[in-house]
Amino acid sequence: MSGAQAARRRPTGARFGGVYQEEEAPAAPAPAAAAPRGARFAGAPVQPEPQPEAAAPPLAPPQRTGPELVSLAGRITALHQGGAAHESAALTAQAAVLLAPEDVARLAVLLHAQGPAGAAGYLARATVHGSPEQAAATLAGLRRAGLAEEAAGLFHALWGHPSSQLPPLLAALERHGLAGDGLTLLWERASAAPAELAALATALRAAGRAEDAHRLLHQATGRRSGELAATALELDETLAAELSAQAARLRSPADLAEYAAALTASPPRYRALLAAVAALDEPRRRSAVAALRALGLPLR
C-alpha cells in the first residue's frame, strides 16, 4: 500500500459501534477547498467554492465557531446513537481532513467529553489521511488540549506513512515544535524491510534531508548482517558506501565479514566496503582484514 489514499486498518469492535473494518481512506481535499457546510456540518447552506488559479497559494480552511463545532459534535453523536454508526464514522473522518487543525483538536475535546466512546480517538487518527501539515498541526493541538490518549493514537498512526510522505511529515513536525517525534519515527523506520528502508533513505536525501538519511542508516547498522547487506544492495552506490562505512566502524569483525560476504554479489559495493575498512584505525583495520581473510574474501 502507498499513497495518501491507501487503505488503512481502522478500529473495530464495540468502542465505536463495531463498524470500522478495512476501508478506503477518505480522499484528502484540494488545499484551497474550504470545509463543507450544510446539514452534515452544522446546518449552514452549502456554498460552491470558487476554483483557485493554478498559481494561487493554498488557502487555510476557515476556522469554525464554537457553536458550529458543538453542532457538529452533536450530529456525530446523534447519528451514532440513532443506529447510523457508519454515517457517524464517515462524518468524523471527513471532519478530520477538512477542518482546520485547531478545530479538529477542539472537536476532539467535545467528542472526548460527550461523544461516542472512541470517537475522539478515531477523529485524531483519521487526520493521517490528510496532508502532513494537517496531521502534524493536529498532533500539536491535541497535546496542547491535554488529550494524551488521542495524541498517542495519532502519533502511532503516523508510523504507517509511506516512505515518500515521510520527509514532508518530518518537516511539518519540526514546524510545530515536534522534532523529537520525527526522530522517533526515524528510529521506528530503521527496522523496516530492506527495500523500504532503502527507499526511505533515498527519499530523505532527495528531499534535502541528508542528515536524516545518515541517522537512519546509522540506526540500521544494528540489524542482522544479512538484512544490512540486503539494504546496501537496494541503495544506490553513494548511500551503500555510507552504510558500509558506518558498518565498518560499528560492527564486530565477524559481523562485518558476514556483511562483506553478502556484498560480493555487487563488486562496486564490495570495493566500497574495502575502502571503508582501509580507513579504520590500525587495530580495528587489522581485525577486520583478518576476519575477511578467514572467510576467503578478496582484500582488493
pLDDT exceeds 80 at position 24:
no
pLDDT value of position 77: 93
Spell out the alpha helix ranges (H) of 11-131. 66-81, 85-98, 101-114, 119-126
Percent of the chain, pLDDT > 90?
74
Distance CA 78, CA 83 (A): 9
pLDDT in tens, 34-50: 334 433 444 333 333 34
Distance CA 268, CA 264 (A): 9
- 16-25, 182-191, 273-282: which range is least confident on average? 16-25
Question: Across the strands, what pairs with 8?
Answer: 23
Percent of the chain, pLDDT > 70?
80
> Taking a C-beta distance cutoff of 8 angstroms, is the pair 107, 41 a contact?
no
Question: Across the strands, what pairs with 44?
Answer: 38
Best CA proximity match to 111, nearest among 128, 129, 83, 91: 91
pLDDT in tens, 244-276: 999 999 999 999 999 999 999 999 999 999 999
> In one letter, which amino acid is 279?
A
pTM: 0.74
As given in the structure block, the three cell numbers for residue 33 are 477547498
Average pLDDT, the chain: 83
As given in the structure block, the three cell numbers for residue 123 are 477523529
pLDDT value of position 46: 33
pLDDT value of position 61: 83
> In one letter, which amino acid is 52?
P
From residue 194, alpha-carbon distances to 96, 235, 239, 271 in Å are 33, 9, 13, 21
